[in-house]
């Protein structure tokens, strides 16, 4: 391989998209290329004047470990905040290596990249994942995804929590996931997912899951098959929800409802068995004529027939019947007969 001359290295230094700083170990800057000036918002003279101490944000505790690593090994790489010429802060990714110069002195070459946007996106993504994990924990849910082409399975933090596992303890896979299902439910779960893949359809199922701590939980899984433009399945995504508590509450409610219904029927039967026979009302309130009318009512005669038998008008008989019903607190003639004369033998 042909060695590069000084001109090539100078061109690389001058036109590199990354900032390049040459420093001495104590942090003084000897030179800075154009990209470094643009990234740090300073002229080369300002950079050399400020030095590393003047551009580093000393409130950032990432500087200490990075400088310690450089002193220990002669090289270091990391991300830390730096101060631009206008006072604004940037996240800078730096890679430093110490080397010996021709004069025998130590020098350091540091490559600087502005990764502020990347760090911000990573931070937002991390916060989003933390919020998602917290929401899943509260809702007792977890999500999963199966890559049909590679067979790779991924779990969310919430799903690891549902199974009382950690990513360090368990690497998700199709077979491994199925093994976490209660043995009696495995065939049904496997067949449901296979059928959804064949039909390119969504699915919902309930099954019992075995947690790492030995507890058995009931999960409700909703899944969807994702297809490509040709209609071929490429992914299966799903959300699992722990419904154990709701299931137990529902079963308890059904059991309580059935028990209450059974008790109500038993009490009703007991009430019918122990209800006292209607007691005959005293005959004193009825006049002799009313008793006579009531006796004929008991024989089945109508008001007209009773009037003819007793030589009364039909209106008079009806008046007597009305008085009988009132005095005996009866709603009809048969009830009055039963109360006063007793049930027919």
Whole-angstrom distance, CA of residue 157 vs CA of residue 139: 13
For residue 163, CA distances in Å to 129, 132, 144 come to: 19, 17, 13
Query: Would you say domain 133-242 falls under CATH 3.30.450.20?
Result: yes
Whole-angstrom distance, CA of residue 239 vs CA of residue 156: 10
Architecture of domain 6-114: 2-Layer Sandwich (3.30)
Whole-angstrom distance, CA of residue 62 vs CA of residue 76: 12
Query: What is the third-level CATH fold of 288-341?
Result: Arc Repressor Mutant, subunit A (1.10.10)
Q: Nearest 5°: CA angle at 6, between 5 and 9?
A: 95
For the chain, give every domain's residue range.
6-114, 133-242, 288-341
Same fold, 6-114 and 288-341: no
pLDDT lower than 50: segments of the chain: 280-284, 345
* Residues constituting the chain: 345
What's the pLDDT score for residue 249? 77
Query: Are the C-beta atoms of residues 137 and 238 closer than 8 Å to each other?
Result: no
Condensed to tens digits (0 to 9), the pLDDT of residues 218-272 reads: 999 999 999 988 889 999 999 999 999 888 777 677 766 666 667 767 666 665 5
For residue 38, CA distances in Å to 20, 23, 45, 149 come to: 11, 18, 13, 45
What's the pLDDT score for residue 1? 53
Whole-angstrom distance, CA of residue 340 vs CA of residue 286: 10
Strand ranges, E, within the chain: 19-23, 29-32, 75-83, 89-100, 106-114, 141-147, 153-155, 203-210, 216-227, 233-242
What's the pLDDT score for residue 274? 58
DSSP assignment letter at 173? B
Structure tokens at 200: 């390119």
Query: Are the C-beta atoms of residues 99 and 120 closer than 8 Å to each other?
Result: no
């Amino acid at each position: 391989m042909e060695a590069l001359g000084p001109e090539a290295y100078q061109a690389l230094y001058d036109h590199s998209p990354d900032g390049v700083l040459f420093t001495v170990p104590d942090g003084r800057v000897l030179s800075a290329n154009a990209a470094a000036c643009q990234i740090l918002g300073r002229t080369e003279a300002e950079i050399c004047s400020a030095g590393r101490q003047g551009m580093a944000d000393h409130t950032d505790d990432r500087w200490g470990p990075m400088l310690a690593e450089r002193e220990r090994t002669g090289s270091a790489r990391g991300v830390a905040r730096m101060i631009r010429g206008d006072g604004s802060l940037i996240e800078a990714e730096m890679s430093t290596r110490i080397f010996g110069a021709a004069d025998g002195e130590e020098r350091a070459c540091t490559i600087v990249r502005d990764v502020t946007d990347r760090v911000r996106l990573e931070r937002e993504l991390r916060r989003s994942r933390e919020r998602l994990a917290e929401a899943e924990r509260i809702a007792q849910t977890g999500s999963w995804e199966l890559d049909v082409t590679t067979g790779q399975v991924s779990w969310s933090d919430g799903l690891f929590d549902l199974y009382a596992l950690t990513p360090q303890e368990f690497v998700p896979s199709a077979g491994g996931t199925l093994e976490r299902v209660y043995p009696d439910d495995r065939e049904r779960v496997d067949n449901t997912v296979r059928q959804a893949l064949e039909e390119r359809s969504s699915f919902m199922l309930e099954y019992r899951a075995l947690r790492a701590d030995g507890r058995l939980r009931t999960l409700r899984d909703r899944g969807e098959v994702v297809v490509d433009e040709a209609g071929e399945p490429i992914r299966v995504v799903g959300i699992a929800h722990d419904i154990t508590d709701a299931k137990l509450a529902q079963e308890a409610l059904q059991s309580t409802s059935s028990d209450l219904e059974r008790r109500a029927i038993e009490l009703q039967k007991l009430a019918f068995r122990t209800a006292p026979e209607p007691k005959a009302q005293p005959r004193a309130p009825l006049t002799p004529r009313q008793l006579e009318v009531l006796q004929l009512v008991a024989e089945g005669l109508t008001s007209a027939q009773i009037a003819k038998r007793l030589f009364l008008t039909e209106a008079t008989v009806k008046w007597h019947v009305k008085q009988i019903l009132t005095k005996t607190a009866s709603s009809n003639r048969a009830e009055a007969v039963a109360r006063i004369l007793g049930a027919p033998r």
